[in-house]
A and B are shown apart, each in its own frame.
Chain A
């Protein structure tokens, strides 16, 4: 018998400390598989965010940097410009990317920097205890909006793909999810495309991935998967927003 699916070499042997059913583990594994499949592990530097995945450097079996909250795209810019042959990915949550790091991501995208961003949207601040994130849905309960997000008071969510899609810079923008095995496969294809675009020196790629946070959503992992299917993916449309490499042909 042939071993077809197993822990990829792109992950270390350290067991991940995420909550049961957390999407971060799935997304880490997808990236780790691609590091091996694209044969780029030895020349890849990942940027870990601040958030639940702040310890991503312990989990990915490649070089990693863990900069200040939200500054991943700024560090990735310097790293990639100084070392164009490295493969650089920035892994960021929604608090990291769409709140404290909004300026960095918008300008990196506008400049069409040649690295890959994996943006994990779980609609909440996971690490700090479930506070409102820029991506928290209208009426969604968080610890800082216990009666649900009142958009008159707490403002409206930011749809990052749509926002960045208004810029001329980015080459590739896609929104996927990891709430079912089928979507896990689609996410892998999308992130693969993001890396390939970087390897071809074509420019900026961002893949937004809807991801379960059962703990702070106060749901079971299965309920969380259903909630993405029935609610979250209706607000954050799962689609390819842009692939400029296709238009070139």
Chain B
């Protein structure tokens, strides 16, 4: 089980790419798929590496990101 989890709300995302730019772990990319609004949504490439920092959520204008952190 990964420590943290990032969920992309695919149909809320507008494929702006800001999360791709600001993810410190560089684990987000824009998918080749097309969502219901015609955008290429963000997808997480390597969930294991997510540190749960929330940068992708903070910079997302929609917001199309949901971040879960492991309970400590």
Interface of A toward B, CB cutoff 8 Å? 1-7, 15-16, 18-26, 29, 178, 180-181, 184-185, 214, 220-222, 225
Pairwise interchain contact A5-B12, C-beta atoms closer than 8 A: no
A-B contact pairs, 18 of them (CB 8 A): A1-B68, A1-B70, A1-B71, A2-B68, A3-B67, A4-B68, A5-B63, A6-B63, A7-B63, A15-B12, A16-B61, A16-B62, A21-B17, A26-B58, A26-B60, A180-B22, A181-B54, A185-B58
Chain B CB count within 10 A is highest, among A4, A16, A19, A181, for: A181
Interface of B toward A, CB cutoff 8 Å? 4-5, 12, 14-18, 21-22, 39, 52, 54-55, 57-63, 65-71
Pairwise interchain contact B58-A222, C-beta atoms closer than 8 A: no
Nearest 9 CB-CB pairs, A to B? A25-B61, A21-B16, A20-B14, A20-B16, A5-B57, A1-B68, A5-B67, A181-B55, A181-B58
- Bound form: Cα–Cα A21–B55 in Å: 15
* Contact with B17, one of A2, A25, A26, A222 (Cβ below 8 angstroms): A222
Q: Given A5-B66, A180-B22, A184-B58 in contact, is the A220-B71 Cβ separation under 8 Å? A: no
Q: Given A16-B62, A26-B61, A181-B22 in contact, is the A4-B17 Cβ separation under 8 Å? A: no
